[in-house]
Structure 1
Amino acid sequence: MKRTLRRQAGVTRAWRRCVRVTVSCHEAVRRSSAWISKTYPPSRTRGAADVATLARSSLLMAFGTVVSRATGLIRQVLQGAALGTGLLAGTYNTANTVPTSLYTLLIGGALNAVLVPQLVRARANDPDGGTAFEQRLITLVVCVLGAGTALAVWAAPQIVGLYMRDTAENHEAFELTVVFARFLLPQIFFYGLFAILGQVLNAREKFGAMMWTPVLNNVVLVTMFGAYLGLMTVPDDVRDITAEQVRLLGIGTTLGIALQALALVPFVRAAGVRFRPRFDWRGTGLGKSARAARWTLLLVLANQVALTVVTNYANAADRTLPKDGVGYTAYSYAQTIWLLPQSIVTVSLVTALLPRMSKAAAEGRTADLRGELSRALRVTGTVIVPAGFFFLVFGPQTAQLLFAHGASDAAATEPLGHMLQAFGLGLIPFSAQYLLLRGFYAYEDTRTPFWMAVWVAGVNIGLATACHLLLPARWAVTGMAAAYTLSYAVGLLLTARLMRRRLGGYLDGRRLVRTYGKLILASALAGALGWAAARAGTEVTSSGTAATALALTAGALTMAVGYLVLARLLRIGEMRMLPGLRR
């Protein structure tokens, strides 16, 4: 009883902290309405009305993304409290990875990167404004997803076997993962439905709904994990979980994704889309989309091969140390936290810019496309670079503050914190490459991103294999996080070289190197000041969650103030483009 009360008290504290984070994010986004207008001033080819539209779109997306990620953080904290970070959590998280991976393999990569330019072109060139093309495309996607989902549920044991070995000592964990997978694999259909409807809206430059509806999914999952913690005895081991708990987790998780997808239907109808099944696919332009998607499918396959290898190795670490939090769950939690700045800043901006970049490429306005890529890289760098250093400096404290509750204690979150540090600086090349690849997609070039993915996946697999074979289980997955960072550094160098060639031998390289050099210097010095402040705070307070929160707050505030002061001294002009930082 005392143990249950302690768990619930820890979860309550975590909930309150996450709510405060959400409120802070709301205030930050509220002041960002002029960001895109300042970053992308009107030019000869882009009028003030277009800039205002882009500003509103990016603001709405950023706000929606912040709320979605904040509620997602609450969900993840409760999930960590309910399942911990060991082998039991690994069964659920591995099964929850499978539908995402299969959806991406089936059609997700093509939807996200290829079809927006195709939809934009159809709306501009087709006599009916692209209506027939959209109807055929939606029909095709729904058919592929329906067949693929049914096949995946039938083949669940074989699919799970790709991510986790079925050995004598691991058989119970494998069987539990298969059971979870059968509940979770129907998510494939709803992921695809969400994506295709969202891309139809994006092609009409209506971005808000796709950013906001994931909040509904998070609300469902927060409710589910809250019920799991409050109404049931939380198990410590794979053998202890009950059929009722498995059903609650499985049905609740899939229900959240279904609600997220179906919530887009009213927005699509309001945008003027009227769906009618059309099977006259031959000779209607879908062949071009399929050919373009071929390379994207191969790109996704390369990424999924790397993910499968790393998941196998991480699950092996969990089998060796099942309660130490050194395997796949810790890796996935750390990666999710690490990606938050990328999701809020870079993805929101690129989603708004991709239709415009596609139009500039189609009209041969290379200078405009080059300028937008350069500005996007420099402005996002003002947030991404210090965020990377923050994770490097404060990874352990962040992990303990968020996940040392319920089924996990401070010792169990220590490996997660080290993984967050290992990911840290990789945020810089990861975000930069993500932006540059969108330049190729604007030209409807999907072949080059595929070869970049092959290089990244190859380096990642090679280094992850070395970590698995050479490092002890306690440090193997931390090494894999560092391998992920190095693989994207290699990918960025190759991508920048090819994009420079595509843009006529000029990528504004000197200006980018100068800006990023200043950002790295300011972030590194500010990070050192923040580390010293956090260490001083730790020495003057007692141990525990409150002490960690105080030390992290002191360190983060010191780092933020130091970064702003150093940025001003180093004359980083891009800082003036951020909301609320006018000189």
Structure 2
Amino acid sequence: MTGPGSIGRGAALMASGTAVSRATGLLRMMVLIAAIGVTGEAADAFSVANKLPNILFMLLAGGVLNAVLVPQVVRAYKRDAGQEYVDRLLTLGFVVLAVATVVLTFAAPLLVHLYADAAPDQMALATTFAYWCIPQLFFYGVYALLGQVLNARGSFGPYMWAPVVNNLVAIGGFVAFIVVFGSPETSGVAVASSWTSGQVALLAGISTLGVVTQAVVLVPSLRRAGVRYRFRWGLRGSGLGRAGQVATWTLVGLGIGLLGNLVVSRVVSRAPSEAEAATVASNNAYDVAFSIFMLPHSLVTVSLATALFTRLSGQAHDEDVDGVRSTFSYGVRVVGLFTVAAAGLLLVLARPVTDIIAATAPAEAVEATTRVVQAMVVGLPAFGAWSMAQRVYYAYEDARSMVPIQVAMAVVVVVGTLLGMVVAPPSWWTACAGLAMSVSYVVGAVAAIWHLRRRLGRVDGGRIVRVHVRALVAVLPAALVAWLATRVLSLGLPDGLLGSVVVCVVAGGLGGVAYVGALRVLRVEELDGLLRPVLARLRPGRG
């Protein structure tokens, strides 16, 4: 059985890849904003089109892979003919992805009109972008299929490092766009009706090329892991019927969640036309805020949860209830320590962080996006707990039990977004949608952990709650230290990118030290589990 040390090393390896991936991802976003802006017709049109393949991937493959592939592959490699079984899974996945990509690309106009409600010129540009971007779906799927096989084989690094290649390709392309066509202020690209076919091809084409390279670079790693894929077709007798049932319920749950996202996308796309203000946060600002929200989640939660998931799948297969309970409790507690700190510090540092990402955007656009960031990050701890709970359901191949919870979460998102539309001015609609999302994660985390008690007997709830309460106590002085530091630094630093970087580094660093110190005073043992991978890499002679 894999021990905490190996899990820590696996999480550290993935965290390092994810850190570089997220850093280059943020740089990619900065360059994209410099090319087309953070608000405006073109930025929102590209946002809708470029997230369509991500949304479709989540629906058709993303959650299904977690629910089906890793548990099935873990089981397959424990028995004879395991590679043949994996080949059949991969073949089925590739074929389904290819067919779905072709069909959905032809459906681009319908998909754009489902997810946006904007001016005709903006909708036409979004549709053109979508024809270029939706084919990314196939390559996102290939990347995830191969990556999950690598994870099941214990090779965690390539899956986390491959997006770096994607980001570097996109950064190069977006820089070329700026060099050729200029900034939004000088080129006029902020206006949807001004776009040429060459501009569309360069911006959207390079975005798709990046996803292609992200998938292709995993092939050599697959061979090094000892996986020799052969095209094998045939479902009878392969055991895929059970996997298909899990996949079906996973699709149902994801579809329910995406209906909530659809409502959010349509509401926030209407905000600019309904508002009196010239600059209003809409789809692209929402995506920028969500990327900031996902940064801490990706650095720790995803890395640790992915490393623990293979372990959970094995324990579930062996009917080791005590092991599942222990692994789940450990994951929730360690993730909670990080996400509570990240939420508290990001609430304080939301403006300078957004200033860095949108360094070329006007102050009004940065301020509008900052409000959305703050609304989202309050739900970060709950999102981490919900993510860990999902892994337990997937380990037991029980996607069906999550569906009622996902319905409740979608209802919260829809009702909260529509309520914000009724009671708040249009300039706040996107922030209200972000807050509704945060509340939905609280509902999901509480409901999932409560329900898991029936399967596991208990979930170590008292210990989980105590750790989160201590983390909340510790983050209060940390946030205060960070806030005081920002006030002091703002007196002597100029506005702009450099000043924002200094504020984030100094204020965030001081707040982090204060948080760790407070946890030490409170004797929170799980702090070592959070810091162990980092400290191991800092010791002399350790790689």
**Shared fold per TM-score greater than 0.5:** yes
Query: Which of 111, 128, 131 lines up with 1:182 in the alignment?
Result: 131
Q: Is the contact between residue 271 and residue 280 of structure 2 (CA under 8 Å) also seen in structure 1?
A: no
Shift of 1:479: 1.0
Q: What are the residue-to-residue correspondences of 1:303-322 with 2, within 5 Å?
A: 303-320=257-274
From 464, 468, 474, the equivalent of 2:427 is 474
| Correspondence for 2:486 | 534
Residue in 2 aligned with 1:228?
177
Alignment of 1:111-122 (within 5 A): 111-122=65-76
Contact 2:30 2:359 in 1 (8 A): no
Which residue of 517, 528, 539 corresponds with 1:576?
528
Q: Is the 8 A contact 2:417 2:432 kept in 1?
A: yes
The corresponding residue for 1:250 is 204
Match of residue 139 from structure 1: 91
- Contact 2:69/2:149 (CA < 8 Å) preserved in 1? no
Counterpart residue identity of residue 213, structure 2:
L
1:95 alignment partner in structure 2: 49
User: How far apart are the structure 1 equivalents of 2:232 and 2:201?
Assistant: 37
Distance 2:273 2:168 in 1: 32
Consecutive unaligned residues in structure 2, runs of 5 or more:
184-188, 537-543
Q: What secondary structure, in the 3-state scheme, does the structure 1 residue paired with 2:190 have?
A: coil
* Structure 1 residue aligned with 2:359: 404
Would the alpha carbon gap of residues 101 and 509 (structure 1) be closer, same or farther in structure 2, given more than 3 Å must change?
same
Question: CA RMSD of the aligned region, Å?
Answer: 1.8
Q: Alignment partner for residue 75 of structure 1, among 8, 28, 37?
A: 28
Counterpart-to-counterpart distance in 1, 2:249 and 2:521? 46
- Is 1:276 the counterpart of 2:276 in the alignment? no
If the length of structure 1 is used for normalisation, what is the TM-score?
0.87
Structure 1's unaligned 5+ residue stretches are 1-45
Partner SS for 1:439:
helix
CA contact (8 A) 2:352 2:504 kept: yes
The 5 Å alignment of 1:399-478 reads 399-405=354-360, 408-478=361-431
The alpha-carbon deviation at position 524 of structure 1 amounts to 1.7
Encode CA deviations 1:327-355: one digit per residue, 9 max, x unaligned.
11111111111111111111111111112
Alpha-carbon separation, structure 1, partners of 2:347 and 2:371:
9
1:363 aligns with 2:318: yes
Question: Across the two proteins, how many residue pairs are aligned to each other?
Answer: 527
Amino acid at match of 1:527: A
Equivalent in 217, 221, 227 of residue 267 of structure 1: 221
Offset at 1:570? 1.6
Shift of 1:191: 0.9
Amino acid at match of 1:396: R
CA offset at residue 159 of structure 1?
Answer: 1.2
Q: Distance in 1 between matches of 2:507 and 2:216?
A: 43
1:553 and 1:358, CA in 2 relative to 1: closer, same or farther beyond 3 A? closer
Tell me the equivalent position of 1:206: 155
In the alignment, the residues of structure 1 paired with residue 236 and residue 280 of structure 2 have an alpha-carbon distance, to the nearest angstrom, of 52
Residue among 304, 310, 323 paired with 1:349: 304
Residue 114 of structure 1 contacts residue 446 of structure 1 at CA under 8 Å; is this kept in 2? no
C-alpha displacement of 1:325: 4.2
- 1:566 corresponds in structure 2 to 518
Query: Match for 1:240 among 179, 186, 194?
Result: 194
Q: Deviations over 1:151-178 (max 9, x none)?
A: 1111111111101136xxx110000000
Q: Which secondary structure state, in structure 1, belongs to the residue aligned with residue 391 of structure 2?
A: helix
The whole-number CA distance in structure 2 between the counterparts of 1:295 and 1:448 is 9
Task: Go from structure 1 to structure 2 and tell me whether the alpha carbon gap of 1:369 and 1:245 turns closer, same or farther (over 3 Å shift).
Answer: same
Q: 2:381, 2:372 → 1: CA distance? A: 16
Aligned residue among 285, 288, 295 for 2:239: 285
Contact 2:67 2:246 in 1 (8 A): no
Greater shift in the superposed pair: 440-449 or 330-339: 440-449
Contact 1:395 1:421 in 2 (8 A): yes
| Selected match of 1:383 from 338, 349, 369 | 338
* 1:416 CA drift (Å): 0.8
Partners of 1:244 and 1:535 in 2: how far apart? 46
1:404 deviation in Å? 2.8
Measure, in 1, the Cα distance between the counterparts of 2:89 and 2:389: 27
Amino acid at match of 1:478: A
Q: Quick one: distance in 2 between partners of 1:564 and 1:52?
A: 21
Taking a change above 3 Å as real, the CA distance of residues 164 and 74 of structure 1, as seen in their structure-2 partners, is: same
